[in-house]
A = this chain, B = another copy of it.
């Protein structure tokens, strides 16, 4: 949220929209979440609230403070703790080990569909960043690089899902521990060095 506020002061609603638009692919959060978090920012002195109103509804614009900028800088430069990566579709695939091959095929298909959706939804947005039509001016470039990464990742996922589905289909037909199966494992071993 500080990262968003660093660009300009915003209302919680605008913040929520921006996060939904820009970050949902790798940092998905529910919209209502920001209304509480923004209060915390104010409490901790990272943001100032400017309270106004349209009609009789409250309307609060939050602006980042110097202290907030400092905190953001610190976080950006900060050391990372663990692996900090969460991939639910892959978790499903992994745990399908305790199910049937059909379960696994379904899970692999779901992971693939997710990547497809990412490509479909993200393409227009990525173009906005790259062509500079997006209101982030100079910031466009690192963001374009981020999208580049997301795209390669999605393509990797689709490619992997297709090959994985073929393998699992083979197992379903022939059962485990066949020669074909052993060859597949040998290939994997090769791959991992």
> Does any Cβ of B come within 8 Å of A167's Cβ?
yes
Closest 4 pairs (CB-CB, A-B): A97-B139, A3-B95, A86-B86, A26-B87
A28 & B86 in contact (Cβ 8 Å cutoff): yes
Provide the A122-154 mask, 1 if CB < 8 A to any CB of B, else 0: 010011001110001011111111111111110
- Say whether chain A's binding surface is mostly helix, strand, loop, or mixed: helix
Chain B binder among A9-17, A37-45, A53-61, A104-112? A104-112
State which size class the interface on A falls in.
Answer: 35 or more
Distance between Cα atoms of A126 and B7 in the complex (Å): 43
> Does any Cβ of B come within 8 Å of A96's Cβ?
yes
Give residues of chain A (175-193) contacting chain B, Cβ–Cβ below 8 Å: 176, 181, 184-185, 188-189, 191-193
Distance between Cα atoms of A106 and B27 in the complex (Å): 20
B90 & A26 in contact (Cβ 8 Å cutoff): yes
Q: Which of A24, A82, A91, A149 has the most CB of B within 10 A?
A: A149
Which residues of B lie under 8 Å from residue A73 when comparing CB positions? 99, 103
- Pick the contact of A153: B6, B84, B130, B156 (CB < 8 A): B156
